[in-house]
Amino acid sequence: MALYQPDIPQNTGSIIRLAACFGFTLHIIEPAGFVIDDKRLKRVAMDYLEYLELVRHESWDKFYSWSRSQSKRILLATTKASQSYLDIEYKTSDVIVFGRESSGVPDAVHEKSDIRIRIMMQNNIRSFNVSNSCAIITSEAIRQIST
């Protein structure tokens, strides 16, 4: 799982807990909309940090280069996708990218993503909170990979 320039520390804290509980690596693609340092992370993530593998990338370009060097498939969770997250066959090499709470991701990130997915919602509602979206999509990926 990767967070593209997250702007809300409380959401990042919830996602840190999710990653720690499920045992997967969390990538943060900087710059974030808040200062990320040990003190602030400890405050939002409480004691979950010791169970988390956290990787910080200085920019989208550095994250993208890393993902290609590791043969990772980039899945972008976005409201602009037409394909449901339920219609994907997830792989252990996948990294699911979640955009900024305030603005999503720029077109360049859309273009470089291998697959774009979304959570289908009723009544043309815009989106879930990013931490809820992470939980929903990650749960499906784990369910598939675990079976």
CB < 8 Å & 24+ apart, contacts of 38-41: 40/9, 41/16
Q: Which residue has the higher pLDDT, 112 or 11?
A: 112
* Residue 73: Cβ within 10 Å count: 16
Residue reference for tokens 């815009």: 126
Q: Which fold has domain 2-146?
A: Alpha/beta knot (3.40.1280)
**Stretch 105-119: mean pLDDT, rounded?**
96
Give me the residue spans of the domains in the chain.
2-146
Helix-helix angle 9-22:130-146, to 10 degrees: 10
pLDDT for 46 equals: 64
Can you give the pTM of this predicted structure?
0.91
Instruction: Spell out the residues 6+ positions from residue 20 whose beta carbon is closer than 8 angstroms to its own.
Output: 45, 48, 49, 51, 52
pLDDT for 91 equals: 96
Task: Give the model confidence (pLDDT) of 39-93 as tens digits.
Answer: 666 666 667 777 889 999 999 999 999 999 999 999 999 999 999 999 999 999 9
C-beta of residue 46 within 8 angstroms of C-beta of residue 77? no
Q: What span, in angstroms and rounded, lies between the C-alpha atoms of 50 and 24? A: 13
